[in-house]
Amino acid sequence: MAASQPVKSSVKKVCVIGPECTGKTDLSKFLSEHYNTPWVDEYARAYLNKLGRPYQQHDLTKIAHGQMRMEDEWLNDANKVLICDTNLLVIKIWSEYKFGACDKEILKGMAERKYDLYLLTNIDIPWQDDPQREHPKKREFFWNLYKKEVATTGVATVEISGSREVRRSTAIEAINKLIS
């Protein structure tokens, strides 16, 4: 896995996490602008767009490496808070669901990463088709899986539900508490 992450202890790391098509990227972009800080995009999207074939389990390890590199690079430019649009927990969930197991490197990377807050996005917004989205009929299954997995991390978690405005307001309130 990547070298240990840079130390910038004053920066709080917030991960926007949840099932497919739950507004993670929209919320991440908004929070980045609101707090005048970078956001770590989802590396998997760019990787899969260039792949040219269906992804395999070993691709998820490469995606994990890329996600960690991006997070480490943006951490040093963060303004009090770094917004992460996904993390290795998402890769673990996909790997275990699709392939029945998760690479030890991904699990090791997860153990080495610290987050201060999870914003868990709910499935209460309409599904939008996208070539990279795989399971429109399994949203509730994945929602429950994400809730269970995030609970095992011990990281403070705030569920993000409702209209776009309510979601944004809830996220800002949670982050303000974190950084005050």
pLDDT in tens, 88-147: 999 999 999 999 999 999 999 999 999 999 999 999 998 776 655 666 788 999 999 999
pLDDT reported for residue 175 = 98
CATH 3.40.50.300 describes domain 12-179? yes
Q: Domain ranges in the chain?
A: 12-179
Could you give the residue ranges of the DSSP H alpha helices within the chain? 24-34, 43-51, 57-75, 88-99, 104-112, 139-151, 164-179
Q: Report pLDDT for 21.
A: 87
pLDDT 10s digits, 23-62: 999 999 999 999 999 999 999 989 998 998 999 999 999 9
Average pLDDT over residues 61-74: 96
Segment holding 39, helix H or strand E: strand 39-40
Q: Average of pLDDT values for 1-19?
A: 75
Residue 2 pLDDT > 90, yes or no? no
**pLDDT one-digit tens code per residue, 156-173:** 999 999 999 999 999 999
State the angle between helix axes of 57-75 and 88-99 in degrees (0 to 180), rounded to the nearest 10.
Answer: 180
**13, β-bridge pairs:** 82
**Cα separation values, 168 from 4, 143, 171, 172, Å:** 32, 19, 5, 6
Distance separating alpha carbons of residues 119 and 64, to the nearest angstrom: 20
Sheet holding 39-40, edge to edge: 39-40, 81-85, 12-17, 117-121, 157-160
Compute the distance between CA of residue 39 and CA of residue 120 in angstroms, rounded to an integer.
16
